[in-house]
Structure 1
């Protein structure tokens, strides 16, 4: 699901490959590289489990668990969106939950 969101964001701003929007390609690449390791390292780690538990309590039944790779890509996106906090509400907004 996240890869589709990233691709939509990237395709919207395809003409602006430099600067802010060009950095979004970096987040998509990070996601794809991370997903290549899922067979060995697994889809979830302790941080992702804890984050999903907390966000499930905070957001409620709308929350959809995210993998460690999706979390890494979201952290990358949040970093590119100057000043956004890595919290459940912002992640839900990014993922359109």
Structure 2
């Protein structure tokens, strides 16, 4: 049976004093989810706003994707199906500053 839907995504970026924050909002028509991401520029690095935009946006989208997978897994379990086999493991890529000890 064919199934077609349109989900709307809006991405907001805010930059101030070497910190870029991203907020991505997904509207499915019946629910709304929000992902967040942050990037911090080292004060000695060249100011290239696009890099902060890319990092913060990618982290916000990653956060949103994790939320979607978590919801889908709960829905699957709610239907009485077994777990999807997903194991806890570290996320790929550079850690966010809040994931670094002492950061």
Specify which structure has the higher proportion of helix: 1
Q: Give the TM-score normalised by structure 1.
A: 0.32
Greater relative contact order structure (CA < 8 Å, 6+ sep): 1
Max Rg structure: 2
Q: Give the TM-score normalised by structure 2.
A: 0.30
